[in-house]
Amino acid sequence: MKRNSRLSLALHTLSHMAVDPSKTRTSADIAGHAGTNPVVVRRVLGRLREAGLLTSEKGHAGGWRLARLPDQITLADVYLALDERLVASDESSDAAACSVEHALHTRVSGVLKEVEQSLVDRLAETLISEIRGA
Amino acid sequence: MKRNSRLSLALHTLSHMAVDPSKTRTSADIAGHAGTNPVVVRRVLGRLREAGLLTSEKGHAGGWRLARLPDQITLADVYLALDERLVASDESSDAAACSVEHALHTRVSGVLKEVEQSLVDRLAETLISEIRGA
DNA sequence: GAAACACGTAACATTTACTGTTGCGTGTTT
DNA sequence: AAACACGCAACAGTAAATGTTACGTGTTTC
Low-confidence ranges of chain B (pLDDT < 70): 1-3, 88-97, 134
Contact predicate A10/A34, CB 8 Å:
no
Sign of dihedral through CA atoms B47, A106, B28, B15?
positive
* pLDDT for res B92: 54
Measured between CB atoms, does A132 come within 8 Å of chain B? yes
Distances in Å between the Cα of B96 and the Cα atoms of A105, B107, B128 are 46, 14, 43
Instruction: Give the span between the Cα atoms of B53 and B58, in whole angstroms.
Output: 17
pLDDT value, residue B101: 76
Parse chain B into domains and list their residue ranges.
5-133
In Å, what is the separation between the CA of B84 and the C1' of C12?
Answer: 25
User: Does any CB of chain B come closer than 8 Å to the CB of residue A102?
Assistant: no
Alpha helices in B21-127 (DSSP H): 27-34, 38-50, 75-81, 99-123
Chain B closest CA to A35's CA: distance in Å?
A: 9
- The rounded mean pLDDT for chain B is 90
Kindly indicate whether the ipTM for this predicted assembly is greater than 0.85, answering yes or no. Answer: yes
Give B 10-29 residues with CB within 8 A of chain A.
Answer: 11-12, 15-16
Residue B25: DSSP 8-state:
B
A96, closest residue in chain B (CA to CA): B33
Instruction: Please tell me whether any atom of strand C lies within 7 Å of the Cβ of A57.
Output: yes
* Residue B28 CA distance to nucleotide D25 C1' (Å): 18
The C-alpha angle B85, B88, B94, rounded to 5 degrees, equals 140
CATH number, span B5-133: 1.10.10.10
Taking the C-alpha atoms of residue A28 and residue B97, their distance in angstroms, rounded to an integer, is 16
CB spacing of A35 vs B126 below 8 angstroms:
no
Strand partners, B66: B54
CA distance B84 to B61: 32
- Regions of chain A with pLDDT less than 50: none
Report pLDDT digits (tens) over B75-105: 999 999 999 887 765 555 555 567 777 888 8
pLDDT one-digit tens code per residue, A37-54: 999 999 999 999 999 999
